[in-house]
Amino acid sequence: MGSGALLAAPALGQGLVDLALPGGPSSRPTTSSFPEKGEMILQRARPPLLETPMEVFDQGVFTPNDRFFVRWHWADIPTSIDVQRYRIAVRGHVNRSLAISLAELLRMPRVELAAVNQCSGNSRGLFQPRVAGAQWRHGAMGNAKWVGVRLRHVLDLAGVKPGAIAVRFGALDQPVVPTGPDFTKSISLDHARDGEVMIAFEMNGEQMPLLNGFPVRLIVPGWYSTYWVKMLNDIEVLDRPDDGYWMAKAYKIPDTPHANVAPGTKDFPSVPINRMVPRSWITGWADGQTFSYAPELPVGGIAMGGDAGVAKVEISGDLGRTWHEASLGPDEGRYSFRRFDMTLRVPHAGSYTLLSRCTNTNGVTQPMTPNWNPGGFMRGCVEAARVRLT
Q: Find the binding residues for other proteins in span 106-125 (CB under 8 A).
A: 106-107, 119-121, 124-125
Using rule CB under 8 A, residue 330 touches other proteins: no
CB closer to other proteins, 18 vs 194: 18
Q: Contact with other proteins (CB under 8 A): which of 1, 89, 131, 294?
A: 131
Smallest gap from Cβ 129 to other proteins, in A, equals: 4
Residues 152-191 that bind other proteins (CB under 8 A): 172, 175-177, 179-181
CB closer to other proteins, 38 vs 317: 317
- The amino acid at residue 130 is R
CA distance 39 to 14: 10
Q: How many residues belong to the site for other proteins (CB under 8 A)? A: 121
- The amino acid at residue 150 is R
Q: How far apart are the first and last CA of the chain?
A: 14
| Greatest pairwise CA separation for the chain in angstroms | 71
Strand 338-345 with 141-150, pairing: unpaired
DSSP string covering 378-389, please?
---S-EEEEEEE
CA distances from 124 to 137, 140, 159, 337 (A): 7, 10, 41, 20
Q: Contact with other proteins (CB under 8 A): which of 320, 346, 361, 367?
A: 346
Contact 98, 87 (CB under 8 A): no
Helix (H, G, I), strand (E, B) or coil at 233: strand
CB closer to other proteins, 40 vs 151: 40
CB closer to other proteins, 161 vs 249: 249
Q: Contact with other proteins (CB under 8 A): which of 1, 250, 294, 328?
A: 250
Q: Which stretch binds other proteins (CB under 8 A): 22-30, 92-100, 152-160, 359-367?
A: 22-30
CA distance 221 to 235: 18
Residues 45-74 that bind other proteins (CB under 8 A): 45-48, 73
Helix (H, G, I), strand (E, B) or coil at 116: strand
Residues 182-241 that bind other proteins (CB under 8 A): 201-202, 207, 210, 214-215, 224, 226
Using rule CB under 8 A, residue 265 touches other proteins: yes
Contact 144, 68 (CB under 8 A): yes
Q: Contact with other proteins (CB under 8 A): which of 14, 95, 267, 369?
A: 267
Residue 330 Ramachandran class (φ > 0 left, ψ -120 to 50 alpha, else beta):
beta
Using rule CB under 8 A, residue 258 touches other proteins: no
Q: Which stretch binds other proteins (CB under 8 A): 33-41, 235-243, 274-282, 363-371?
A: 33-41
Q: Which stretch binds other proteins (CB under 8 A): 55-63, 159-167, 186-194, 340-348?
A: 340-348
